[in-house]
Amino acid sequence: MKKKIFKILQYVIFLFLGVFIFYWIYKDMELEDLKEQISEINYFWIAVSFIFGIMSMVFRALRWNLLLKPLGYNARFNNLFISVLVLYLTNMIIPRAGEITRCTVLTRYEKVPFSKGVGTVVVERMADFIMLMLLAVIIISSQISRVSLFFEKNPEVKQNLDNLLTFKNLLIVVLIISALIILSWILLKFVIRSSVIKEKLRKIKIDFIDGIKSIAKLKARWLFITYTLSIFLMWLLMLYVVFLAYEPTSDLSIFTGAVVFLMGGLGMLAPVQAGIGPWHFMVYQTLFVYGISLEQGKMFALISHTSMTGMYVIIGVVGLILLPFINRRKFLHKNNSVK
């Protein structure tokens, strides 16, 4: 109970912090000015942004299926796609919880063991991290002067990143992981005596490892890489076309969009629901480096984040509603077969 209360308080505190940052950013914006700028948005490009966002989810679902096939599961695309929708919807409410939710969906409707699903998700996250690091190196090296200027104008951001990536913190992470491994071994060896419980835990461990090993059994490795590249490309285009929707940013290049995408991604690392506040800050400060005024940068961040969040919420809710109906025929057929 104490652990649950602590988690709830943690989410509430981070949400409050995000809302506070958001308020601090937009507290001086006049309502009439906001209405005027919203009326001038080209909503065609907002719709195009939605299409790119949905395509990124399609590629994520297809990539996940590649990891499931070596494990002997050929999940239906409908369930894979909706599980990804649920992933983003859940993250809007509880940061980082979406990965668990999407595995639960696949366990429920495709009978993929939960532990195996989590193992494949770990592989996906590793692929995303590697891709993000490669993009960061390419973007920063090509735009080094602009990125350096951003950190010069925002020394507190650089300080926070330096504090996060210290040897001490990395050592703490290694020690925590080691302690968890040792604790698990002690529990299995001396504390948990029940053979039934031991067998269940052993099965969970095997399934989880099998999920991670799916990358080694992957036959279509180049297709996996292509899907990963496509996901990031769709994310970039999803952000970039919003530049075209807002007149002050309509002349910015896609290279600028790549830098904004990267810096906004750093803002998303904050454990705040939907990155509200930190994402806006990183985006408008980055745009300021490229000659966009702070007011216009704040407006762009508001337009982009609101449209993105709205899309995730709407299609996520629709996906949740459709999920039981899509699988109804399958269960009816199964019940009839049993009879």
State pLDDT tens for residues 231-251: 999 999 999 999 999 999 999
Alpha carbon distance 137, 177 (integer Å)? 28
* Tokens matching residue 248: 């002050």
Average pLDDT, the chain: 79
Please tell me the least confidently modeled range out of 4-8, 152-156, 159-163. Answer: 4-8
- Measured CA to CA in angstroms, residue 111 lies from 73, 211, 215 at distances of 9, 14, 20
The pLDDT score that the predictor gives to residue 45 is 95
Residue 228 is predicted with a pLDDT of 94
**The pLDDT of residue 91 is above 50:** yes
Q: What is the pLDDT of residue 339?
A: 46
**What pLDDT band is residue 99 in, cutting at 50, 70 and 90?**
confident
pLDDT band at 338 (very low <50, low <70, confident <90, very high): very low
Q: What is the DSSP string of 236-263?
A: HHHHHHHHHHSGGGTT--HHHHHHHHHH
Tokens of 46: 């907002």
Give CA–CA dist 35/55, Å, rounded: 30
Q: How does pLDDT run across 14-66, given as a tens digit for each residue?
A: 556 666 666 666 677 777 777 777 888 999 999 999 999 999 999 999 999 99
Residue linked to tokens 């992470």: 173
Q: Assess contact for 242 and 46: CB atoms under 8 A.
A: yes
Backbone angles phi, psi at 265, to 5 degrees: -60, -35
Residue 24 exposure: Cα atoms within 13 Å on the Cβ side: 11
Please state, in angstroms and rounded to a whole number, the distance separating the CA atoms of residues 301 and 53.
16
Tokens 């009816």 correspond to 332
- Percent pLDDT > 90 in the chain is 23
SS3 call for 113 = coil
Residue 81: which pLDDT band, with cuts at 50, 70 and 90?
very high
Question: Taking 90 as the threshold, does the pLDDT of residue 271 lie above it?
Answer: no
Q: 287-291, 307-311, 327-331: lowest mean pLDDT where?
A: 327-331
Q: Higher confidence at residue 8 or residue 151? A: 151
pLDDT in the model for residue 163: 61
Average pLDDT over residues 73-79: 91
pLDDT at 97 over 60: yes
Whole-number pLDDT of residue 223:
94
Higher pLDDT, 190 or 31: 31
Domain ranges of the chain: 41-331
pLDDT at 126 over 60: yes
Residue type, 247: E
Confidence of residue 203 (pLDDT cuts 50, 70, 90): low
What is the mean predicted confidence (pLDDT) over 184-195? 59
Query: What's the helix, strand, coil split of the chain in %, to 5?
Result: 85, 0, 15
Report the b/e string of 24-42 with b at 16+ CB within 10 A.
ebeeeeeeeeeeebeeebe
Distance CA 67, CA 310 (A): 30
> Is pTM, for the whole model, over 0.85?
no
Residue 73 has pLDDT above 80, yes or no: yes
How does pLDDT run across 272-303, given as a tens digit for each residue?
A: 776 778 888 889 888 888 888 888 898 999 89
- Taking every pair of C-alpha atoms in the chain, what is the biggest distance, in angstroms? 71
Distance CA 205, CA 198 (A): 10
Mean pLDDT on 55-81: 92
